[in-house]
Structure 1
């Protein structure tokens, strides 16, 4: 996009910003000719404390020039869009869209023999529709690339080096709309920023495992109808843009307040590059470069910078559920006592029924019984069964009951109605008197039911127990049988604990409250890691896509973590988790210290229906040792 920039050359300073120059000095800046190169975009490069400009040209490809426009390196082609990413070794990754070949090309810019700068081709990726904007991001040490097409459809990709070259793996699509001309990633706050005339500058979550949270950062009232060449400057914590009036800089941390602006005479500006102490403006029909000094005064990083949350990775995942949309919900783990590596994962598809998976993640069995929401399992002493699984059914309010044989075969024992309007959350309790199910009636109360299982396992009877009232929506719950303690999560408020041996006169105690940091509403799944008398309580903090770990009695917060992308195994992270399940049992070589299973609300790499992620408990133990 080209901008017509007219007016008297002047510097207008806002909020006390010291530009370090005056209008006379600015007007004396002489343009540097590009010697006939018709460039479309410029980006700043620093090598050996020297400044360079990386140019994209539709006729001459990629060019690296010094401050005097002398060509230092060139890669032929027809380059329409460009992005750079500094690497830790001092070199640069370069993404370029080759218009004639419809290719996305990946290069490394590095210093070769004799310190000569060179382009090295890392990969070519075919069949890309016309691209209007490219920008890199570094997430958890990985290289990500955002590619936005002229049609308004964008994609986030993971870039990984392999023996034969680099791979490009799609993470997610982005439906942005037409007109985007540039983008940048504010890694300090985890935002993808896009320049989209005539709407404004939009901000989206750069993390694919977070809600997109699209918002208008800068409006056309601040920018006018034409703007672009969006650049970020972390030293001053600013965002730079070309506008019709010239150049503007906004405070990146303070809600989009204007820091400074220039009106600049010229014949049409195409692109802007920001060095630490100057701006480089690609200006005029002859594509000359004008350098403008700016303040080098650093800006303190603000309080809204992202706080680092520890990240662990899934080592396995299940097949997707059958239903589309928000369908996968709650898992439970059956431990095969005779052959632990053949243990099973029970998990609900809340639009269709119950799935049973091998530890490999493959589907073993499916029961299409309706809207089964939550499921739990208990081992029992019985001549024909090793364990019982119970699931809440919202299609016809009631409970579905399953027998698990010692060899892992599962049989549906039948359905039992219960007098609740909408059975929602469910967890099991076992004591010397028998087996109980705690079931929440969505949005109202929590109910206990005793399950009487005959020796023939048919005709299971249900008897009402106690009832807990005056709570808002409850789904997640878990019972610590060893210490006779019920935990349940009021989604907007926090985690409650009830001593089941204390008598009816003892009320639940709120042990962990929603605070927007350790717990962010909604609080969904609850599970226990139990190893003799030691253990932990875990909750899925759905509002922050994190998992909070507490002491076993829930009274002490220990840590929180996210489940991120595992690029080696090609498994995406987990987010917006509903239910989770834990076992401390040794499940063989893959999970010798236990297993965590979490529902994943956004299944990426590739895009698919929701599923469940499997996390090795050894990684959580390692995290706890590091605290």
Structure 2
């Protein structure tokens, strides 16, 4: 049995070649719809902006890590870079997320993209799709830490409370304490721009490696994050519901690092939590409502950090929704969600 890696596995999957999972079982590679254009440095994390008026014109944003000329690149649904919507000259952009209907003032709202700029100890915020800067050059995070090594943000996810109309950014970092590893900021806008107000510090850490990936289940109101060598942790997204940990699950289903987390959400509240099993080069699938393990799938990607998913129909190209994942060839891999067959066999 030959186990191919990286783009070779993606290219030859049509020949029916298989790879081994970390458990020793044989997982067939699920072929992608396409592979994106390459970025210059080191891809990490994708986010999907859904164009509600023209879904076929939706945009995938993906980070490209470099300390001097990092970028957040915009891709169309053919995987081609959209130059006029891409941002470059950034200092190690790490993770990215999309939010909808962010209030700029009493009468104006916009969709937003946020990402962490690690080496400047800040998060950035731009409107989408016009890519206007809303943050006056950056919003500093972890400012109360005296140790600069604990001020370097990595993961980020947005939570919008539909009842209060408030939008929050949840941020993780390269290094942090065993308690209060994540900070949650309320994003507030006025005539001077957007401010980030710290509203809570929360989140347990095993101390084994680091916490990067964060995902928010908007409808059910939960935050999930990857304590990389330990488990997937679950908390309430609304800070008013308290800081009690709700679950720590799934660690036994990963070879080592628990990486990118994506939540496939359906209208009946069913769905799946898809998590990168980085060193095994596959993904572990969990039930959205019970958090029970379902199975692993192999998409042919290698050393995957970030991933993202939408169940929305994105035109003829992705009629069942879209799953995007990073691979180590400086590209992002696009799958029609229906091809993943996420349910139990």
Q: TM-score, normalised by structure 1?
A: 0.46
Aligned match of 1:391: 115
Change (3 A) 1:540 1:139: closer
Q: Does residue 1:481 correspond to 2:229, yes or no? A: no
Displacement after TM superposition at 1:411 (Å):
2.1
8 A Cα contact 1:353 1:366, kept in partner: yes
Aligned match of 2:277: 541
Aligned match of 2:321: 594
Aligned match of 2:147: none
Change (3 A) 1:588 1:159: closer
Displacement after TM superposition at 1:440 (Å):
0.8
Once residues 156 and 280 of structure 2 are traced to their aligned partners in structure 1, the CA distance between those partners, rounded to angstroms, is 23
Q: Does residue 1:429 correspond to 2:159, yes or no? A: yes
Displacement after TM superposition at 1:316 (Å):
1.1
Once residues 579 and 350 of structure 1 are traced to their aligned partners in structure 2, the CA distance between those partners, rounded to angstroms, is 12
Once residues 201 and 13 of structure 2 are traced to their aligned partners in structure 1, the CA distance between those partners, rounded to angstroms, is 53
8 A Cα contact 1:511 1:554, kept in partner: no
Aligned match of 1:576: 303
Aligned match of 1:530: 265
After the TM superposition, list the runs of 4 or more consecutive aligned residues in structure 1 that deviate by more than 6 angstroms.
none
Q: Which residue, out of 591, 608, 613, partners 2:333?
A: 613
8 A Cα contact 2:14 2:31, kept in partner: no
Once residues 466 and 355 of structure 1 are traced to their aligned partners in structure 2, the CA distance between those partners, rounded to angstroms, is 31
Unaligned residue ranges in structure 2 (runs of 5+): 144-149
Change (3 A) 1:307 1:392: same
Aligned match of 1:507: 245
Change (3 A) 1:466 1:492: same
Once residues 553 and 488 of structure 1 are traced to their aligned partners in structure 2, the CA distance between those partners, rounded to angstroms, is 16
Q: Over residues 312-348 of structure 1, what are the superposed CA-to-partner deviations in whole Å (9 max), with x where a residue is unaligned?
A: 111112111112xxx1000000000000000000110
8 A Cα contact 1:599 1:611, kept in partner: yes
Q: Over residues 547-568 of structure 1, what are the superposed CA-to-partner deviations in whole Å (9 max), with x where a residue is unaligned?
A: 111111362111111113xxxx
Once residues 131 and 273 of structure 2 are traced to their aligned partners in structure 1, the CA distance between those partners, rounded to angstroms, is 28
Q: Over residues 483-527 of structure 1, what are the superposed CA-to-partner deviations in whole Å (9 max), with x where a residue is unaligned?
A: 111111100001011134573352342022x22xx2222111011
Change (3 A) 1:305 1:479: closer
SS at match of 1:543: helix
Change (3 A) 1:139 1:489: closer
Once residues 597 and 441 of structure 1 are traced to their aligned partners in structure 2, the CA distance between those partners, rounded to angstroms, is 23
8 A Cα contact 1:329 1:373, kept in partner: yes
Aligned residues: 310
Once residues 563 and 387 of structure 1 are traced to their aligned partners in structure 2, the CA distance between those partners, rounded to angstroms, is 30
8 A Cα contact 2:203 2:245, kept in partner: no
Task: Tell me which structure has the larger Cα radius of gyration.
Answer: 1
Aligned match of 2:126: 402
Aligned match of 2:187: 451
Q: Does residue 1:321 correspond to 2:32, yes or no? A: no
Aligned match of 2:229: 492
Q: Which residue, out of 547, 559, 562, partners 2:295?
A: 559
SS at match of 2:120: coil
8 A Cα contact 1:331 1:580, kept in partner: yes
Once residues 461 and 416 of structure 1 are traced to their aligned partners in structure 2, the CA distance between those partners, rounded to angstroms, is 7
8 A Cα contact 2:39 2:64, kept in partner: yes
Once residues 435 and 337 of structure 1 are traced to their aligned partners in structure 2, the CA distance between those partners, rounded to angstroms, is 20
Displacement after TM superposition at 1:378 (Å):
1.0
SS at match of 2:56: helix
Q: Does residue 1:333 correspond to 2:68, yes or no? A: no
Once residues 583 and 511 of structure 1 are traced to their aligned partners in structure 2, the CA distance between those partners, rounded to angstroms, is 23
8 A Cα contact 2:224 2:233, kept in partner: yes
Aligned match of 1:413: 134
Unaligned residue ranges in structure 1 (runs of 5+): 1-136, 145-156, 162-186, 191-206, 211-303, 565-573, 604-609
Structure with higher RCO (Cα < 8 A, 6+ apart)? 2
Once residues 500 and 468 of structure 1 are traced to their aligned partners in structure 2, the CA distance between those partners, rounded to angstroms, is 11
SS at match of 2:338: helix
Q: Please identify which structure carries the higher strand content.
A: 1
Q: TM-score, normalised by structure 2?
A: 0.82
Aligned match of 2:64: 349
Once residues 402 and 448 of structure 1 are traced to their aligned partners in structure 2, the CA distance between those partners, rounded to angstroms, is 19
